[in-house]
Amino acid sequence: MALSGEKGNNARRRLTLKKNKKYLNKMKCPYCGHQDDRVLDTRIQRDGNFIRRRRECLSCKGRFSTQESVMEVFPLVIKKDGRREPFNKEKILSGIKTACQKRPVSLDQMDGVVERIAKWVVDHFDQEVLSKSIGERLMKEMFRLDDVAYVRFASVYRQFKDIHEFMNELEAARNKDDTPPFELTPPPQ
């Protein structure tokens, strides 16, 4: 059976697309559970990373919003003790916020650091990444972000053994030339 003069596979493909398209925009209503709705408004959010859709249920007329984003698949993080856990952007952001307390660093700047770290992890590691690699990369980002926040972060991350190690970090931050006072280990090949 051909659609509008088309024959064979093209007609079947187009018919399949039309059938599937019918279900693409269906969401379960949070109020009544009905699955027929219509999209009232679609807006792109946050630099194109999210799409927000305002919907109306055709059964109860309730309105609700949905958000679509690309699913990012991150590698597992291998901790010092050998445990493996999923990569967690919120955990990194929490550490950055703690280090930046009462500093002139905006949330957008902190989010930028988290996004750069996440992109670096996805670009350089497939299945697993050492927590040490993430920590060193984050130290480099913190060094560029704010010198006081860097020293705060370093004091927790590096676990200084004595005042001399701490003073070396302070001196490096004071003589800041955008080169961290440590060497980054390259990602494994």
What gap in Å lies between CA 53 and CA 85, rounded to an integer?
32
What gap in Å lies between CA 78 and CA 130, rounded to an integer?
5
Choose between 49 and 35: higher pLDDT.
Answer: 35
Give which of 133, 147, 172, 150 is closest to 95, Cα–Cα: 150
pLDDT at 188 over 70: no
What gap in Å lies between CA 124 and CA 75, rounded to an integer?
10
CA contacts within 13 A on the Cβ side of 92 = 25
pLDDT at 24 over 70: no
For 37-89, how does the pLDDT look when each residue is reduced to its tens digit (9 = 90+)?
999 999 987 677 788 999 999 999 999 999 888 777 889 999 999 999 999 99
Residue ranges per domain, the chain? 26-70, 76-174
Cβ neighbours of 138 (radius 10 Å): 22
| Secondary structure letter of residue 58 according to DSSP | T
Give which of 66, 83, 87, 65 is closest to 75, Cα–Cα: 87
For 87-134, how does the pLDDT look when each residue is reduced to its tens digit (9 = 90+)?
999 999 999 999 999 999 999 999 999 999 999 999 999 899 999 999
The pLDDT of residue 16 is 43
pLDDT at 173 over 60: yes
Give the pLDDT band (50/70/90) at residue 15: very low
pLDDT at 163 over 90: no
Print burial letters for 5-23: b (CB count within 10 Å at least 16), e (below 16).
eeeeeeeeeeeeeeeeeee
The pLDDT of residue 166 is 77
Cα dist from 130 to 4, 68, 103, whole Å: 57, 30, 29
Give strand pairing partners of 71.
none
